[in-house]
Amino acid sequence: MKKAMNAFYAQSGGVTAVINATACGVIETSRKNKQVISNVYAGRNGIIGALTEDMIDTNRETKNTIHNLQYMPGGVFGSARYKLKSIKENKAEYKRLIEVFKAHNIGYFFYNGGNDSMDTANKISIMSKDMGFPIVSLGIPKTVDNDLPMTDNCPGFGSVAKYIAISTQEAALDVASMSKTSTKVFILEVMGRHAGWIASAAGLVKKEKADAPHIILFPEIAFDKKRFLSKVKESIKKYDYCVIVASEGTRYKNGSFLSDTGNKDAFGHAQLGGVAPILAQMISKNLNLKYHYAIADYLQRSARHIASKLDVKQAYAVGQAAVEMAIKGNNAVMPVIKRISNKPYRWKIDKTDLSRVANKEKMLPKKYISKDGYAITKSCRDYLEPLIRGESYPPYEKGLPKKIKLKNISVRKLLNKKFMV
């Protein structure tokens, strides 16, 4: 029988309300298979923890603490926006990873992230074999943007969709009640650089023609200033107020973002600086209307208190499945969610090759966007509705969600050589 080895788990990129439910699934499932995986070492601040040999010993945490991870937003072990360069550009990084994994008897690598992270997991699978210390490397899907291909939806999306839908509905009621004498326009800016999945969730609120949101701005639809202002004016005339939900990636026909700051993040993505104030000024200058705006920003992805119950369940399931797949010998794959039916909604876990996901994006389909480009269609509603179902409230203490405290005890370093990132 093959000797048990350790596993390395890391969180990558922007965190979600349910990423720790995935961590819970990975660790609890590994603990049930001690004959194969003796311990799970978590990277402190993601992949950086492997490069700097700064890892957390999850065996030092109690069963109850690990179980309660599913109620915590944020990344309990620390996440990082750090993309490994190509092997030609920086072979030293891959060599260092293998040195650390070899020193700590790590034979399994679980990388919890988006499309860039799947590329890293795929590279590690290939390079570890070439370097003589094969690692079973699996990606685990996570992104609020819902833009990973090959999976029906991504863990993290259902909860942000629920938050945005609720926020839109509640803010719309507020604005409608004051529109006669005060605010006429409310703008909610949501995440979504290239794909309009999060913005589309606001459309769930609109049951009748007069309901908010009156305008949704998708990255997939080129922004036309004249048409936009005309639509705002029309909404004010008909309903006395206008609620707009704008994706941060709203762009002009030439592809330039309305809110591009000119800066790039660690993954090389454009750093966007706030489309809501730009739209607000545009409305004020051209239509002379009183406005308010809100930027959901981190609030939308950290709202564990109103997480989708289904999202929590699926986040745990992909973590559990990743370990089970690895134990069965699957390598360079990612667990995916397959939708079996809409009514009733049924799903299962399947798998796909990392090469089919790495560095690829899934846009909001055109069939999900109305003909005028400002709303969602019935098929989009049918897709979205099951994903926000159910409540999974965290335990409360003195009126606040109870925070889970981890020991986060470091694994003893075995290598003398430091590595700078």
Which residues form the catalytic set? 145
Q: Is residue 55 within a helix (H) or strand (E), and if so which, with residue range?
A: strand 55-57
The CA distance from 275 to 45, in Å, is 30
Give burial (CB, 10 Å; 0-12/13-18/19+) of 399: exposed
Residues counted in the chain = 421
The secondary structure of 312-341, three-state, reads: HHHHHHHHHHHHHHHHCCCCCEEEEEEEEE
The dihedral built from the CA positions of residue 20, 144, 199 and 209, taken in this order, carries a sign that is negative
Beta carbons of 144 and 156 less than 8 angstroms apart: yes
Q: Round to the nearest angstrom and report the end-to-end CA distance of the chain.
A: 38
Beta carbons of 188 and 245 less than 8 angstroms apart: yes
Beta carbons of 17 and 296 less than 8 angstroms apart: no
The CA distance from 171 to 194, in Å, is 25
Side-chain-side CA neighbours of residue 179 (13 Å): 19
The CA distance from 242 to 234, in Å, is 9
Query: Cα-atom radius of gyration of the chain, to the nearest Å?
Result: 23
Q: Is residue 263 within a helix (H) or strand (E), and if so which, with residue range?
A: strand 260-264
In the chain, the amino acid numbered 319 is G
Beta carbons of 66 and 9 less than 8 angstroms apart: no
Of 314, 319, 318, residue with least CA distance to 42: 319
Token pair of 296 as six digits: 């959901």
Sorted by sequence, the CB contacts under 8 Å of residue 89 that are 6+ apart come out as none
Beta carbons of 306 and 119 less than 8 angstroms apart: no
Using DSSP's 3-state secondary structure scheme, residue 176 falls into helix
